[in-house]
Amino acid sequence: MQIINNPNREDWSEILKRPTQTVNDIEDTVNAIFKEVAEDKETAIKKYTLKFDGVDLKSNEVTSNEIEEAIALVPKKLQEAIKLAKSNIERFHGIQKTAKVEIETTNGVQCWQEKRPIQKVGLYIPGGTAPLFSTVLMLAVPAQIAGCKEIVLCSPPNKEGKLAPEILFAAQLCGVTKIIKVGGIQAIAGMTFGTESIPQVYKIFGPGNQFVTVAKQIATKYGVAIDMPAGPSELLVVADDSADASYVASDLLSQAEHGTDSQVILVSTSQELIQEVSKEVETQLAVLPRKAIAEKSIANSKLIFVENDNLALELIDEYGPEHFIICSKNEDLYVNGISNAGSVFIGNYTPESAGDYASGTNHTLPTNGFSKAYSGVNLDSFMKSMTFQKISKQGLLNIGETIELMAEAEGLQAHKNAVSIRLKDLK
């Protein structure tokens, strides 16, 4: 890991660059596949599943028999662990429900807001080197609580044309209505346009590689909403001499092993801690099963020394991390002061892994600095806020002239007439 001491403020943007390709680098590929899926539907899906996943599937749909077989393959202890995690996620997302908001803005003018579920949602679950069955829980649980009628799950098949048993177990546990063995750009395109096997959805959720991230952004051009532009995983830890170097190193590596384009950063006010963490990373990295992946990620990562906590907080806000761990004596400064972060983990005994799996918070979070403007997935992500109003005769008499004056001033005579014709009957 690169150690950087007291970087100048004007160098921050360069130092904090993500190791990702630009949209332009891969947009042409995504657009070409989208065009083909829009025109050729299932034929294009089949073609790209063979090309990218190396498997020729007779059917993309997961059958009930496949689900039953998969459940039998998941060890009972893991099943119980998944159920416990689901319970905590349900509890946290369940309390996010909000009641109808209602007010009489003027005598006779009643306005209110209610939330309704998005009817059709698509969940993208990454496969590849690490099938993320935990992401099924993070997306399907709030979708189910929200009351979404159709919950479609897409995930890339392995070389045998199957999905991980844990993904199928979690999907049936959480009320997913349809499971499709399709991944990558073609999965996002399929949910955007709809094919013979893939239902068209109104909103697409889920993390993925850079191609999936761009595909989701392209989907918005075709009227499909997305949760956020979530790309490769990232973590920033702020720590001082009160932190445990082995804990910090383990947290950095927990994200580094996600993928070669992941990024982890340590910001510290202690040069001694930076040296200790650097040694610990090497020691722990040596025995990791996913060492080859983590090594490449670590090469993109940095250990940054700054002189004080206030400067550290400014630098962290500039970066806008997906995951932010605080291991500092000055904990309150960071907790109360942070503006840009997807999810915050506080104290030496709050590993980021807890949020990934079982504490209850959602792990589908904005990356690549998007935490400056986007929230992580939550219950509201699966709902729409709708406003209602009802105006009585007295209410229209109270605000009618205001509407007329404003409409006339904007030159919209028909808008004025819609009120005037009613007022004429009421006076």
Contacts of 335 (CB under 8 A, 6+ apart): 326, 344, 346
Name the catalytic one among 276, 280, 322, 352: 322
> What is the number of other CB atoms lying within 10 angstroms of the CB of residue 326?
24
One DSSP character per residue, 32-52 reads: HHHHHHHHHTHHHHHHHHHHH
Mapped onto helix, strand or coil, the DSSP state of residue 96 is coil
Cα–Cα distance list, 28 to 33, 220, 319 (Å): 9, 16, 28
Mapped onto helix, strand or coil, the DSSP state of residue 114 is strand
Two structure tokens written together for 384 = 């729409």
Name the catalytic one among 36, 323, 352, 363: 323
User: What is d(CA 241, CA 82) in angstroms, rounded to the nearest whole number?
Assistant: 36
| Residue 72: exposure state from Cβ atoms within 10 A (0-12, 13-18, ≥19) | exposed
Residue type at position 35: K
Q: Are 293 and 255 in contact (CB under 8 A)?
A: no
Ligand-binding annotation for 93, yes or no, is: no
Beta-bridge partners for 304: 4, 267
Ligand-binding annotation for 415, yes or no, is: yes
302-305 vs 2-5, strand pairing mode = parallel
**The tokens 């100048």 sit on which residue?**
8
Q: Are 325 and 244 in contact (CB under 8 A)?
A: no
Q: Are 141 and 90 in contact (CB under 8 A)?
A: yes
68 in active site: no
Ligand-binding annotation for 209, yes or no, is: yes
User: What is d(CA 297, CA 283) in angstroms, rounded to the nearest whole number?
Assistant: 16
Ligand-binding annotation for 404, yes or no, is: no
User: What is d(CA 151, CA 28) in angstroms, rounded to the nearest whole number?
Assistant: 29
The secondary element (H helix, E strand) that includes residue 304 is: strand 302-305
322 in active site: yes
One DSSP character per residue, 51-74 reads: HHH----S--BPPHHHHHHHHHHS
Q: Are 156 and 150 in contact (CB under 8 A)?
A: no
Ligand-binding annotation for 255, yes or no, is: yes
Task: Give the length of the chain.
Answer: 427
Handedness of CA 190, 194, 197, 199 (dihedral sign): positive
Ligand-binding annotation for 258, yes or no, is: yes
Q: Which residues are catalytic?
A: 322-323
Detail the residues annotated as belonging to a binding site: 124, 186, 209, 233, 255, 258, 323, 356, 410, 415
Detail the residues annotated as belonging to a binding site for substrate: 233, 255, 258, 323, 356, 410, 415
Detail the residues annotated as belonging to a binding site for NAD(+): 124, 186, 209
